């Protein structure tokens, strides 16, 4: 038996992340500018960092309860009520996880059985499809269209549903498209979700980054709330990616089931980081606001510039990604990014890393300084000129 035959065959055939592959190449080269990684460039606000330091100083270095510190769960529920008008109970409805990443994994493993299908609107964050497959389910893709604002339409949802469907993943504001769903958009799909009885797994990690209107959580719709599972976390809103703290909100019966996996595999999120998260969720609204203003400025700048140099880019309504079309170059998204890296030492992410529906696009993160963004635009402009695609 070969080594490849020995290991889990789903893992064997899993494609490594298209984002990481690219950045591993970029990391080996000197002088590369990268607008690739989806991570805010701000250092975590001091009052939040201080709480983690303080926790360590005071010897708060032991396991917490599996669900997470009670004060953190209380803070999370108060935050969801304050920002998104949704009620959850700190004791019954919350698990603190190791980032949104763990949350996606354990929700999926709790829900799916062999043969189940999970509807995945694409282009989508790279982890979803891999996690769905590792949990033993099948991905049923819906292609989100640029001309529809990368929204999930009722027609597309209806088409994708069948008797095997267990859940649909909703990621609005979306990575990589920046698409959002408004209350009116949700009103069109909620009756379909209700009738079908499937779960809506809503990853709201970019909820604090909507530019023209406030985020609407699908958990606000009482008629389906029992079948809504909210995933969120501290990484993007408070610039706390390295702390690895996220959470799940759902009905008690589900939380009790999901907790079993969390209990056996993780035990609890890192204790000092949970203390930092308490400070963030209770006293971080102002930090969110400050970072938001900066992201909006960068968004407006980069989108204007991309369109000026000839890459058609719709205005993203949320998150911190621009998703320009590169179709007019005639290159595939991988060719475009490989040549850009070789010729201009600029690293972007090819759209096909987010599924086949991302072909013809590249993802540009604008969670970088304006100086870096300006330098990247100059490189892109030169690249388009050299290729004769500037006209």
Site for ligand PLP, rule CB under 6 A = 38, 99-101, 125, 171, 175, 203, 205, 233, 235, 241, 246
Give the residue with the Cβ less far from ligand PLP, 150 or 383.
150
The answer to whether the peptide bond before residue 54 is cis (omega within 30 degrees of 0) is no
38 vs 358, beta carbon nearer ligand PLP: 38
Q: Are 281 and 349 in contact (CB under 8 A)?
A: no
Q: Output 39 or 359, the one with its CB closest to ligand PLP.
A: 39
State in angstroms the smallest separation of the CB of 87 from ligand PLP: 23
CB of 206 to ligand PLP, least distance (A): 7
Q: How far is the CB of 16 from ligand PLP (least distance, A)?
A: 16
69 vs 240, beta carbon nearer ligand PLP: 240
Q: At closest approach, how far in Å is the CB of 336 from ligand PLP?
A: 22
Closest CB 126 distance from ligand PLP, rounded Å = 8
- Of the two residues 358 and 383, which places its CB atom closer to ligand PLP in the complex? 358
| Residue number, nearest CB to ligand PLP | 99
Residues 79, 234 contacting (CB under 8 angstroms): no
Taking CA atoms, 175 is separated from 27, 83, 93, 128, 365, in Å, by 23, 21, 26, 11, 10
CB nearer ligand PLP, residue 309 or residue 358: 358
Sequential DSSP letters for 100-149: HHHHHHHHHHHH--TT-EEEEEES--THHHHHHHHTT-EEEEEE--GGGT
CB of 178 to ligand PLP, least distance (A): 11
298-303 own/partner pairs: CB under 8 Å, 24+ apart? 298/366, 298/367, 298/368, 298/370, 298/373, 299/211, 299/366, 301/370, 301/373, 302/364, 302/366, 302/373, 302/377
Return d(Cα 374, Cα 371) in angstroms, integer: 5
């Amino acid at each position: 038996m070969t080594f490849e035959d020995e290991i889990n065959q789903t893992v064997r055939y899993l494609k490594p992340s298209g984002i990481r592959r690219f950045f591993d190449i970029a990391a080996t080269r000197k002088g590369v500018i990268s607008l690739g990684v989806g991570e805010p460039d701000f250092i975590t606000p001091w009052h939040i960092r201080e709480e983690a330091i303080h926790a360590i100083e005071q010897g708060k270095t032991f396991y917490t309860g599996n669900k997470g510190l009670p004060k953190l769960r209380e803070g999370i529920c108060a935050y969801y009520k304050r920002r998104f008008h949704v009620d959850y109970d700190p004791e019954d409805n919350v698990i603190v996880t190791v980032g949104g990443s763990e949350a996606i994994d354990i929700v999926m493993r709790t829900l799916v059985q062999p043969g189940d299908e999970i509807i995945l609107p694409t282009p989508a964050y790279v982890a979803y499809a891999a996690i769905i497959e590792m949990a033993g389910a099948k991905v049923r893709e819906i292609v989100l269209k640029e001309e529809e604002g990368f929204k999930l339409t009722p027609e597309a949802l209806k088409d994708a549903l069948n008797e095997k469907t267990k859940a649909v993943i909703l990621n609005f504001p979306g990575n990589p498209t920046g698409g959002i769903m408004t209350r009116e958009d949700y009103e069109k799909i909620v009756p379909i979700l209700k009738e079908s009885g499937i779960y809506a797994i809503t990853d709201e990690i970019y909820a604090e980054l909507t530019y023209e209107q406030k985020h609407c959580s699908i958990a606000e719709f009482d008629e389906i709330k029992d079948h809504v599972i909210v995933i969120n976390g501290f990484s993007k809103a408070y610039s706390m990616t390295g702390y690895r703290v996220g959470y799940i909100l759902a009905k008690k019966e589900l939380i009790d089931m999901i907790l079993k996996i969390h209990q056996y595999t993780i035990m609890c999120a890192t204790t000092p980081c949970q203390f930092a998260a308490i400070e963030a969720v209770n006293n971080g609204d102002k930090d969110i606001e400050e970072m938001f203003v900066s992201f909006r400025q960068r968004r407006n700048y980069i989108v204007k510039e991309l369109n000026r140099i000839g890459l058609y880019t719709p205005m993203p309504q949320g998150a911190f990604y621009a998703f320009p079309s590169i179709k007019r170059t005639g290159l595939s998204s991988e060719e475009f990014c490989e040549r850009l890296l070789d010729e201009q030492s600029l690293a972007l992410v090819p759209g096909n890393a987010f599924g086949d529906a991302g072909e013809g696009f590249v993802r540009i993160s604008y969670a970088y300084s304006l100086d870096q963004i300006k330098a990247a635009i100059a490189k892109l402009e030169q690249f388009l000129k050299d290729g004769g695609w500037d006209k």
